[in-house]
Chains A and B, each alone.
Chain A
Amino acid sequence: MINFQYARATDVVDAVRQIAGHANAKFVAGGTNLIDLMKMDVERPTKVIDITRLPLTQVENTPDGGLRIGALVRNSDAAYHPVVEERYPVLASAITAGASQQLRNMATTGGNLMQRTRCHYFYDTATPCNKREPGTGCSAIDGQNRMHAILGGSDACIATHPSDMCVALALLEANVHVSGASGDRVIGISEFHRLPGDAPQRDSNLGAAEIITAVELPPKGYAKNYTYLKVRDRLSYAFALVSVAVGLELDGDVIREGRFALGGVAHKPWRDPQAEAALRGQPANAATFARAADLLLRDAKGYAHNGFKIDLARRCITRALTQAARGAPQSQSSKKIV
């Protein structure tokens, strides 16, 4: 752990000014990921800007019928917010599937978007890692890669994004509001996180001197037919091997429109328009679900230890689509898969 300056931001403008004015600064909110990484010597910011007092803690309805969740809303507060529970239960479910109660009480909405991979090599500074030290190589490709990506990886990196919340945000097509020196802008969630390509050190398209101010959910919440199914190596407090968020609109037994997003399989929450198109207008049955799963996984690639994820993902997609179609979403308190 290195020595660093600590400063408190007074408002969003001040936060942007401070981060723009220091070459190696980081924002800290809940600190549930950054502080660990600093202790492990992985993150070495020379300045840490505390943004916890910024007025970004509101959850508000938007004029178009959506919901705006401030970047500093704690994960627990978001998950248990009555509007989120009622209109966006898939988001509530995904958040409570992640981490532990204590961590969710600290972690924030913006911080969750910014959490970094749990790749073993990223955390161990004695090993090569392109994400941590560009150009040193990827240790995971020929190393321990049980937790790693089967989709969208590159020769430079096969890390996964560890968030559960972001998988639900991808499903809901949330917009990420950011603020920077040149003003405010909105980044669609699908454009927010990046694939590793040849620059795996960049997790997201957030500018170096930008701050997330809110996440805005469009009106459509799939409150009736949804699920968040997370499968992991123990029943709680573990990162997903595979997770699936589903939202369906049904006309009787026929899918009018459906979406599904996967976690634990790629460098970002994974959606596939072709696979979703295969749901449209089809009967909500096993054959439809299997076809959609196969489409999403058509380019999946396994490595020495994670090849099983391809078949597991297929099973999880089918199961999650079944749960959503039945209106029987996965419970995050009882771990029994419904």
Chain B
Amino acid sequence: MAPYIGASTSRVDGLAKVTGQAKYAADFNTPGLAHGSVVTSSIAKGRIARIDCSAALGVNGVLDVLTHENRPLMADDDQAYKDDVAPGGSPFRPLYGDRIMFSGQPIALVVAETSEIARFAASLVRVEYETDAHVTDVRRQREVSIPVKALASPDEAPFAPPRTRGAPEQGLAAAALRHAGEYYVPIEHHNPMELFASTVVYDGDGKLTVYDKTQGVQNVQRYLCGVFGMKPEDVRVMSPFVGGAFGSGLRPQFQVVLAALAARALQRSVRVVLTRPQMYVLGYRPAMIQRIELGANADGTLEAITHDATTVTSQYEDYFRQETGWSGLLYKCDNAKYEHKLARLDLATPCDMRAPSAPTAHFALESAMDELAVALKLDPLELRLRCYSDRDQNNDRPFSSKALRECYRQGAEAFGWDKRDQEPRSMRDGGELVGWGMATGMWEALQAPITVRIALSANGHAEIACATSDIGTGTYTIMAQVAADMLGLPLENITIKLGDSSLPQSPVEGGSWIAASVSNGIATTAGAIRDELLQLAKRMPGSPLANLAPGEVALVDGKLVSRGDASRSASVADVMRRGAVDRIEQEKTTNPSKDVVRAHNTHAAVFAEVKVDKQVGVISVTRVVSAVAAGRILNAKTARSQILGSVVWGIGMALHEETLIDHRLGRIMNANLAEYHVPVNADVHDIEVIFVDEPDDSNPLGVKGLGEIGIVGVAAAVANAVYHATGTRVRDLPITLDKLRL
């Protein structure tokens, strides 16, 4: 039997999805279900002076209106509201008090017999505010932003900027050539297809079963237990399918609190579905102002780098990620200095959004490198190769693997980079200016502790259980592939259970760490199953496997087989029958090896072609080649889909995405899919994905994860291509046609 790992296996949940049998959070029904509609604040800062719910309560079919004034008891300490991935600070508490901290803040929940009645009644809630002055403009707050402290140990705060290396000021002064630039990325918002929703089923004894759109069912379970003082056995959180999230579902969102609050208040099952505009306060990619200065030697090697970034956070939490310091992993440079400041705005706290910090930071760094290449009259790819670093200079250690050089080579070859004319505006296609740009992308290869349970039946079927999520990335499928190979069973004999807080422990699905974590977790537990089977087999009279150690035996095609001598084997069915067991169950926790002496990262080389109408300025990204080094690829098909989707998102970041805030009102004005632009089919042309072979021994399966790497560098590659096409360097995203000088 050919191995499943690495094959282009179609999604095992595909049929359920396309036939509508896959149920999402808002699809679960229960008798007596009530519906909640959220009322949100129209001001950005202040307090609720008066809230009049009488008209809403008067509507036939309205069951209750919950506000801070009449809500049931909730925890009153920050710790209770801290979820697994909460940043520092004081988390937002929905319906807790009268303070308004951002426009669009939930301030009431109308609960009614139908969602239509609830929505109508919600429009009748009247609110009077006492307004305070607000600020929502990062440029205005830049001068009073707060430094993120560089800390002594990298374990202490992994997102703090790296420490200064060498003597950056002297390095810049000594450089033959310097480039300095300031780069801006606006606030960008998640727009997953599935609306955020929670269906809370209220059981007679007060227990809750919560169907939630989330990337971490156990995170939500712990959080709800904290907020409502409930016992873990009384809250079960389910999320079998998620219609996109990519970070927006990492933290428990307010709709789950409101639905649970209402269910407890009314002792009734309640569903809350947010509207698209309401989702614009669930978190966002923070706006980022970056200043980068590069000092180069005449041969194109780097003498010094300084990178300072100001990013947005809320007034109540300190959200930040590793915004600076990517250069220390990518490019050899002895002298470097990083600074990171936070601008506090009267907005909701930002949240992780596909490769948080990396696409924004790489936009600046890789634009700056392109500008340096232009100044040096060097091919931008050649500059990258001259600056290539084989070490993580931030922590002075080697990489577990870094096949970036091969990404550059294969990507350039597939793209035809050698035919590029270096001169801007030199390449034409009729009335269009043609530009070719490239950039590098980098992300982390992480692994987290995880527990997997496997139950093998004598009939040759196995159930794999783990409380992880599949947010559409293909986790069900890769879990089934790995399990099938490890247990020696056909794929169709594998059942995957996930997205249920009662299953064995899993971290939230984020950071691209689930593929590596769960696949190795399955391997561990499958090993325990094999060991148990081997014990049984050895008890058989005249066992062909006598004297073999567990490591000398594998499960292949329904048999225990000696790795050294394939003629020595025993069918699993026989072993179990003779041992009088019809089911073997093992549950094992897999901890990643604490390999801190090496850096663990994924890499990508992105090549983009744009065509720009030279009269009107319309930009098309006609071609993208993304060459990715991400360790072992578990499923060539779903992996390619991840990169394709990432590239599309990167095109959107480059050309389209921008959250528009009216700073006078402190309010987001384009909170819908018509006005917040993401790419449509017409904006997406040829995308070629290359996976570069990259053996890695950081974990037994050599898996690194690739849910995020594909977006990193895309916006920079497109921006660099736009420069090459037009001669206009656009340093603030998105690159709309009005920013071009034609």
Which chain A residues have a beta carbon within 8 Å of chain B's beta carbons? 1-3, 39, 41, 118, 120-121, 123-124, 126-127, 139, 142-144, 146, 231, 233-239, 241, 308, 312, 315-316, 318-319, 335-337
Check: B655 CB closer than 8 A to any chain A CB.
yes
B615 interfacial contact with A, CB 8 Å: yes
Contact assessment for B618 and A126 in the assembled complex, using a CB-CB cutoff below 8 Å: no
B620 — which chain A residues lie within 8 A by C-beta? Answer: 235, 335-336
Q: Are A143 and B677 in contact (CB under 8 A)?
A: no
Q: Hey, which chain B residues are within 8 Å of A231, CB to CB? A: 616, 618, 737
* Cβ distance A231 to chain B, nearest Cβ, rounded Å: 6
Extra pairs beyond A126-B665, A234-B677 (6, CB < 8 Å): A123-B672, A124-B669, A143-B662, A234-B655, A234-B679, A236-B682
Distance in angstroms from A202 CB to nearest chain B CB is: 24
B613: CB under 8 A from chain A? yes
- Per the bound structure, the CA–CA distance linking A118 and B119 in Å amounts to 23
Q: Which residues of B contact A (CB under 8 A)?
A: 42, 103, 116, 119-120, 123, 431-432, 611, 613, 615-618, 620, 655-656, 660, 662, 664-665, 667, 669-670, 672, 674-675, 677, 679-683, 736-738
Q: Is the CB of B680 within 8 A of A237?
A: yes
Cross-chain contact A312 with B677 (CB below 8 angstroms): no
In the bound assembly, the distance between CA atoms of A127 and B670 in angstroms comes to 13
Give the dominant DSSP class at A's interface. Answer: loop
Do the beta carbons of B737 and A312 come within 8 Å of each other? Answer: yes
- B123 / chain A contacts, CB cutoff of 8 Å: 1-2, 41
For A123, the chain B residues whose CB sits under 8 A away are 672
Shortest beta-carbon contacts, A-B, top 7? A126-B42, A308-B738, A235-B682, A236-B682, A120-B669, A337-B613, A237-B680
Inter-chain CA distance A2–B56, complex, in Å, is: 12
- Contact of B618 with A337 in the complex, beta carbons under 8 Å: yes
Residues in A with CB closer than 8 Å to B120 are 1-3
Measured between alpha carbons, how far is A127 from B120 in the docked complex, in Å?
Answer: 19
On whether the beta carbons of B677 and A238 are closer than 8 Å, the reply is yes
In-complex Cβ contact of A235 among B103, B617, B683 (8 A): B683
Complex CA gap A3/B664 in Å reads: 33
* CB-based nearest A residue for B651: A234
- Count, A-B residue pairs, CB within 8 A: 91
Q: For A316, list chain B residues within 8 Å (CB).
A: 616
CB distance from B305 to the nearest CB of A (A): 34
* C-alpha gap A237/B681 in the complex (Å): 10
Pick the residue among A1, A234, A239 that contacts B680 (CB under 8 A). A234
Q: Which residue of A lies closest to B40 (CB)?
A: A126
Contact indicator B616/A139 (Cβ below 8 Å) = no
B660 contacts A144, C-beta separation under 8 Å = yes
Query: A335, B682: Cβ atoms under 8 Å?
Result: yes
Given A2-B120, A3-B120, A319-B616; A234-B656 close (CB under 8 Å): yes
| Consensus secondary structure, chain B interface | loop
Q: How far is A139 from B663 in the complex, measured between Cα atoms in Å?
A: 11
Chain B residues with CB under 8 Å of A41's CB are 123
Inter-chain contact A337/B682, CB cutoff 8 Å: no
Q: Complex Cα distance A233/B736, Å?
A: 7
Asked whether B737 lies within 8 Å of A318 as measured between CB atoms, the reply is no
Q: Which residues of B contact A335 (CB under 8 A)?
A: 618, 620, 682
Q: Which residue of B lies closest to A311 (CB)?
A: B738
Q: Write the nearest CB–CB distance from A311 to chain B, whole angstroms.
A: 8
Which of B616, B664, B737 is the one whose CB lies under 8 Å from A143?
Answer: B664
Q: With both chains docked as a complex, state the minimum distance between the C-beta of B471 and any C-beta of chain A, in angstroms.
A: 25
Residue of A nearest to B431 (CB): A337
Interfacial chain A residues near B103, Cβ < 8 Å = 126
What is the CA–CA distance of A1 and B683 in the complex, to the nearest angstrom?
34
A236 to B678 Cα, complex, angstroms? 11
- Residues on A with C-beta less than 8 A from B738 are 308, 312
* Shortest Cβ distance from residue A183 to the other chain B in the assembled complex, whole angstroms: 38
Please judge, given known A-B contacts A120-B675, A126-B667, whether A144 and B616 are in contact too, CB under 8 Å. no
Asked if residues A143 and B669 are in contact (CB atoms below 8 Å), the reply is: yes
B618 contacts across to A, CB distance below 8 A: 231, 235, 335, 337
Q: CB within 8 A of B669: which of A144, A237, A238?
A: A144
Of all chain B residues, which has the CB nearest A308? Answer: B738
A96–B543 Cα distance when bound, in Å, is 74
26 pairs, CB–CB < 8 Å, chain A vs chain B: A3-B120, A41-B123, A118-B674, A120-B669, A120-B675, A126-B665, A139-B662, A144-B660, A144-B670, A231-B616, A233-B656, A233-B737, A234-B656, A234-B682, A235-B680, A235-B683, A237-B680, A238-B677, A312-B617, A315-B615, A316-B616, A319-B615, A319-B616, A335-B618, A336-B613, A337-B616
Q: Please indicate the chain A residues that have their CB under 8 angstroms from the CB of B681 in the complex.
A: 236
Is the pair B615, A318 in contact by a Cβ cutoff of 8 Å?
yes
Residue of A139, A142, A144, A316 ringed by the most chain B CB atoms within 10 A: A144
Q: Residue among A127, A142, A234, A237 with the most chain B CB within 10 A?
A: A234
Which A residues are in CB contact (< 8 Å) with B674? 118, 239
Cβ-defined contact, A121 with B669, below 8 A? yes
Q: Which residues of A contact B680 (CB under 8 A)?
A: 234-237
- Which residue of chain A has its CB nearest to the CB of B662? A143
A312–B616 touching, CB < 8 Å: yes
- A233's partner among B119, B669, B672, B677 (CB-CB below 8 A) is B677
Inter-chain CA distance A118–B674, complex, in Å, is 9
Output the nearest chain A residue to B611 by Cβ-Cβ distance. A336
Docked complex Cα distance between A144 and B738 (Å): 15
A128 and chain B: residue at smallest CB distance: B665
Partner of A142, one of B611, B664, B683: B664
Rounded to whole Å, the gap between the CB of B542 and the closest CB of chain A is: 69
Closest B residue to A238 by beta carbon equals: B677
Q: Are the C-beta atoms of A336 and B662 separated by less than 8 Å?
A: no
For B664, list chain A residues within 8 Å (CB).
142-143
Which residue of the partner chain, among A139, A239, A241, A318, contacts B665 with CB atoms under 8 Å? A139
**B-side contacts of A146, CB under 8 Å:** 660
Which residue of chain B has the shortest Cβ distance to A41 in the bound complex? Answer: B123
Chain A residues, CB < 8 A from B679:
234
Instruction: Give the docked Cα–Cα distance between A336 and B682 (Å).
Output: 10
Rounded to whole angstroms, the CA-CA distance of A320 and B133 in the bound complex is: 48
Considering the chains assembled together, what is the distance between the CA atoms of A50 and B665 in angstroms? Answer: 38
CB proximity of A234 to chain B, nearest CB, Å: 5
A238 to B432, CA, bound (A): 22
CB-CB under 8 A from A139, the residues of chain B are 662, 665
Contacts A142-B664, A234-B680 given; does A315 touch B669 at CB 8 Å: no
Bound-state Cα–Cα, A316 to B431, Å: 14
Question: When the two chains form their complex, are residues A1 and B669 in contact, meaning their CB atoms are under 8 A apart?
Answer: no
- How far apart are the CA atoms of A124 and B123 in the complex, in Å? 13
Contact A315 B616 (CB under 8 A): yes
Question: In the complex, are the beta carbons of B116 and A124 less than 8 A apart?
Answer: no
Chain A residue at smallest Cβ distance from B740 = A308
Residues of B within 8 A of A236 (CB): 680-683
Residue numbers in A under 8 Å from B660 (CB-CB)? 120, 144, 146
**Shortest Cβ gap from A145 to chain B (Å):** 10
How far does the Cβ of A46 sit from chain B's closest Cβ, in whole Å? Answer: 12
A144 to B672, CA, bound (A): 15
Q: How far is the CA of A124 from the CA of B661 in the complex (A)?
A: 13
CB contacts (< 8 Å) of A235 on chain B: these are 618, 620, 680, 682-683
Report the bound CA distance from A316 to B616 in whole Å: 6
Bound-state Cα–Cα, A238 to B675, Å: 8
Report how far A239 CA is from B674 CA in the complex, Å. Answer: 9
A144 to B674, CA, bound (A): 16
